[in-house]
A and B are shown apart, each in its own frame.
Chain A
Amino acid sequence: MSIVKRNSKLPAAAGALAALTTVPARADWSLLNMPKGVSELSRDIYDMHMIMLWICLAIAVVTFGAMIYAMIRFRKSRGAVADTKLLHNARLEAAWTIVPTIILIAMAIPSVDKLIKIEDMSGSKLTIKVTGYQWYWHYEYLGRGVSFYSRLARSSDLARQRGSGIDPNTVDNYLLEVDKPLVVPTGTKIRLLLTANDVIHAWWVPDFGMKRDAIPGFMNEMWVSVDADKPGTYRGKCAELCGADHGFMPIVVVAMPPAEFEAWLAQQELRQ
């Protein structure tokens, strides 16, 4: 299968390292940094983010270092006398115009092939239409006759009412649980068609790396492929302000191995 091939392309050592470090690393950093996620796209995006972060930190060390040095070295209280002749330096000024331009273009280049990959919808094995409503989601497995709504779980909905007296900390997955999650197969390229029924929403699961707007009257698309070795439950939410309950329309995706998924889908077909 093509999916297996893609995974085998990953250097084995890096894969093993990731497997060893993923759990503890996420425990420590998940509240400070972007998740690496569970798909090729999310890892690409995470890498871009980290490259940018390190470049910015390096530039910060140099510029802030110069500022701090100037603030310490050239204090009047230390007897510094102003050099009022230091007004221009054509070479210096040309250098700090041209060098950053080159750095910036170099920063943008790695994003090109990643973007091309993100926008390439070809080869998808399954298409799911996602429709945003105020304030819940609707999922439809195109050509499979299965569709359902997905709303905020009752436990969260009760706790989130003002004056409910329920401590959110006692609710499992507060605001991140739904009555009926979206189920997808792992290791499969899935195309999502996004639209909305009323106002603009945005479908976002951080572990998949992508978010895209669901716009009434238009069809947007994006693709998702959960790693074959990472079945699990992944949570996200609406990311575009869509009215009063914008914060209360979570997304839950259960990724399961293709065989299990097919069984689940067949069962759903029978029910509908």
Chain B
Amino acid sequence: MRPDEVTNMAHGNAAAGHGDHHGPPKGVMRWLTTTNHKDIGTMYLVFSLAMFLFGGVMALLIRAELFQPGLQLVDPGFYNQLTTVHALVMVFGAVMPATVGLANWMIPLQIGAADMALPRMNLFSFWLLFFAFVLLISTFFVPGGAPAAGWTLYPPLVLQTGNAFPMAIFAIHLMGASSIMGAINVIVTIVNMRAPGMTLLKMPLFSWSWLITAYLLIAVMPVFAGGVTMLLTDYYFHTSFFNAAGGGDPVLFQHVFWFFGHPEVYIMILPAFGIVSEIIPTFSRKPIFGYEAMVYAIASIAFLSFIVWAHHMFTVGMPLAGQLFFTLSTMLIAVPTGVKVFNWTTTMWRGSLSFEPPMLFALAFLFLFTIGGFSGLMLAIVPADFQYHDTYFVVAHFHYVLVPGAVFGIMAAVYYWLPKWTGHMYDMTIAKWHFWLTAIFVNVLFFPQHFLGLAGMQRRIPDYPTQFTDWNMVSSIGGFGFGLSQLLFVWLIIRCVKGGQRATAGVWDWPHGLEWTVPSPAPYHTFEKSPELH
């Protein structure tokens, strides 16, 4: 045979065997060995939902204990374990993996790429995350129990943790490694694999928000890893990074932590900004207003997130100039955030609005995230923060930006793209029930916490003076209402995966973007040939 014939035959064989070779294997092996971005995206999303429910159960235990004064259900030490692990699970196990799952599913579909650039690393980062949480959750069963120093892990308190200490630190290292790999994957994919003709400033805003999120992750995760490693050496090797007796400073850890921690909150919220920027135009039936301003606003927020960290620690006693600097830089974040809110509102202006479930969640996001923004502005003013700091006012603030903010953004995304993933429309009645119950109870749950904080109830306490009873009861009722409503969400998703009315390729009235040009459900392989852009 001539060499070129060999080549031809090899080519022909490959083409013939294509379907068998690249189709998903059956059963559990599909999920263990897959390098397909859609499968990995699904695994991230399912994992995230499981962690959301687990973190939610811990939150309900907290709210049950706080239903009335006195200790009824848990001991104070275990209560602190619950608040600590609830936060770590919700931040690193629920919100972040959900946005990574959405990135895996949607970025290749939005930019016209066949898959993520580094598929094996993609799978690796998922399993690292999975075992990080196996490790973290297993700390409940070791002597001394789970970490109980708050998710902020402040020393010296965190150094009183029992056997859970090295496990928690190692779990955080695994989560960080997983996040960094995921971020590298997103950046490499977006930079190299966009369809010809899709310049950066033509890219959908969800992909844009994730590109910037990925840079934030790469910048701050190593800082956090460094901080917790210093905790580890203080604990085991008698270094004194955070021990004043050895020349260290406990406040140093707070600086390191919040240098990571503040960008971290944008890591959670920026993808939600991207999602809302996809959904509001679709259901307003007109393109986003001020597309470029939206991109620059995300970039400005990301930049500012690096120079505001000390607003989390105004009470540690810092120089006057430092307090003023961090007040002003924090308030400036309201400018690009305001631009985004105004642009979303103007996108609806002179539109043709309809209120399908994704739009309902996006609108609730718009209102309730803005409330969280207002309380954030108030917290930025130092003298007032001396009263707000470490009270339920802060708890209300960050839950408003994270639950009706980030979580509603993720739920909006699920309702928006679920028909694309499963090929079925979901039950609109259940979806609307889920929305209204969730949107009402989230306010019953968190709004009274503003009052509690202002009236003087501090954070992270299992029991409280009796004058706080009424609003705590209201908040707990809201908590149980919110938690139980999420069962509707789970039920709706299971039913939608199993069957339902066939979804069209476009799904919605006014689809825009490449993901709506492929059939529903999206085939296992999409865009093996780059799409034509016009």
Q: Determine if chain A interacts with chain B.
A: yes
The answer to whether A105 touches B378 (Cβ under 8 A) is no
Q: Known contacts A96-B342, A160-B70: does B353 contact A108 (CB below 8 Å)?
A: no
Binds A, one of B20-28, B202-210, B400-408, B461-469: B461-469
The answer to whether A44 touches B383 (Cβ under 8 A) is yes
Q: Known contacts A63-B370, A104-B331, A216-B156: does B354 contact A88 (CB below 8 Å)?
A: no
Distance of A240 Cα from B152 Cα, bound (Å): 12
Distance of A34 Cα from B455 Cα, bound (Å): 5
Binds A, one of B31-39, B264-272, B286-294: B286-294
A129 to chain B, nearest CB (A): 15
Distance of A235 Cα from B451 Cα, bound (Å): 18
Distance of A145 Cα from B245 Cα, bound (Å): 26
The answer to whether B339 touches A96 (Cβ under 8 A) is yes
Within 8 A of B (CB), among A60-89: 60, 63-64, 66-67, 70-71, 74-77, 80-84, 86-89
The answer to whether A167 touches B383 (Cβ under 8 A) is no
Within 8 A of A (CB), among B311-366: 315-317, 320, 323-324, 327-328, 331-332, 334-335, 338-339, 341-343, 345-346, 348-354, 363, 366
Interface centre among A167, A199, A241, A246 (most CB of B within 10 A): A241
A113 to chain B, nearest CB (A): 10
Distance of A81 Cα from B352 Cα, bound (Å): 5
Looking at chain B, what size class is its interface with the partner chain?
35 or more
For residue B471, CB closer than 8 A to chain A, the reply is yes
Chain B residues, Cβ within 8 Å of A200: 154, 156-157, 250
Residues of B in contact with A (beta carbons under 8 Å apart): 69-72, 74-77, 80, 148-150, 154, 156-157, 160, 243-245, 249-251, 284-287, 289-291, 293, 315-317, 320, 323-324, 327-328, 331-332, 334-335, 338-339, 341-343, 345-346, 348-354, 363, 366-367, 370-371, 374, 377-378, 381-384, 386-387, 389-391, 451, 454-456, 458-471, 510
Partner pick for A83 among B286, B370, B371, B462, CB 8 A cutoff:
B286
Chain A residues, Cβ within 8 Å of B377: 52, 56, 104, 107
The answer to whether B149 touches A241 (Cβ under 8 A) is yes
For residue A231, CB closer than 8 A to chain B, the reply is no
Q: Can you report 17 residue pairs joining A to B where beta carbons are below 8 Å apart?
A: A45-B383, A64-B367, A76-B285, A96-B342, A104-B332, A108-B328, A112-B324, A118-B383, A200-B156, A202-B315, A211-B386, A211-B390, A213-B315, A243-B157, A245-B76, A247-B464, A248-B76
Q: Could you tell me the dominant secondary structure of chain A's interface residues?
A: mixed
Residues of A in contact with B (beta carbons under 8 Å apart): 30-35, 41, 44-45, 48-49, 52-53, 56, 59-60, 63-64, 66-67, 70-71, 74-77, 80-84, 86-89, 92-93, 96-97, 100-101, 104-105, 107-108, 111-112, 114-116, 118-119, 159-162, 164, 166-169, 173-176, 198-200, 202, 204, 206, 209-213, 215-218, 220-221, 236-248
Interface centre among A96, A105, A167, A206 (most CB of B within 10 A): A96
Chain B residues, Cβ within 8 Å of A70: 345, 348-349, 351, 353
The answer to whether B348 touches A93 (Cβ under 8 A) is no
Q: Known contacts A218-B249, A241-B157, A247-B76: does B353 contact A76 (CB below 8 Å)?
A: yes
Chain A residues, Cβ within 8 Å of B352: 74-76, 80-82
B108 to chain A, nearest CB (A): 27
Q: Count of A-B contacts with CB under 8 A?
A: 281
Distance of A53 Cα from B469 Cα, bound (Å): 25
Q: Known contacts A33-B455, A80-B353, A244-B76: does B315 contact A211 (CB below 8 Å)?
A: yes
Distance of A147 Cα from B115 Cα, bound (Å): 69
Chain A residues, Cβ within 8 Å of B289: 86-89
Distance of A213 Cα from B156 Cα, bound (Å): 13
Please, which residue of chain B has its CB at the minimum distance from the CB of A86? B350
Distance of A244 Cα from B327 Cα, bound (Å): 32
Chain A residues, Cβ within 8 Å of B348: 67, 70-71, 74
Distance of A76 Cα from B283 Cα, bound (Å): 9
B337 to chain A, nearest CB (A): 9
Chain B residues, Cβ within 8 Å of A119: 320
Q: Known contacts A67-B366, A82-B350, A164-B70: does B154 contact A217 (CB below 8 Å)?
A: no
The answer to whether B461 touches A246 (Cβ under 8 A) is yes
Distance of A82 Cα from B509 Cα, bound (Å): 12
Give 4 nearest A-B pairs by CB, closest first.
A217-B244, A247-B461, A83-B350, A56-B374
The answer to whether A206 touches B451 (Cβ under 8 A) is no
Q: Known contacts A45-B383, A86-B350, A97-B335: does B456 contact A35 (CB below 8 Å)?
A: yes
* Extra A-B contacts (6), CB below 8 Å, given A48-B381, A199-B157: A33-B451, A49-B387, A76-B354, A175-B465, A217-B245, A218-B244
